[in-house]
Amino acid sequence: MISLRNMIIASSAALAMTGAAVGAAQAQPGRYYDHGRDYRDSRVNRVDRLSTGYVDSLNWQIQNAAREGRINWREARALQNDLNQVKPLAYRYQTGQARQWEVDRLQRTVDRIDSEVRG
């Protein structure tokens, strides 16, 4: 029959081995870790002015500028039409399918709309 003392020693040894295994597992890098750089922040916090999210936000900026009187409604309609023409380019850019001339056209349009809406 196993004495109480031997049972306590065996339990303590098993507990210590479990703790060591958990400690080793916690020291492993996460799935976003690559060569010392954490990509989570750069993906989440990156503001890309050519992404579909930013291009879609220009709709609101145009409407807001027209409501506040910074541009008239005719200019707002013209900017809206220009924006609608380049929205597919934003998707192609974001998926990596856009050619350089498409990226240049998208960049010029976004810059122009930004300057007219803010100014």
* CA–CA gap between residue 90 and residue 6 (Å, rounded): 70
The whole-number pLDDT of residue 58 equals: 94
Find the mean pLDDT for residues 52-60: 92
Residue 39's pLDDT band (boundaries 50, 70, 90)? very low
Element (H, E) at 37: strand 37-38
- Percent of the chain surpassing pLDDT 90: 54
Residue-level pLDDT at 29: 54
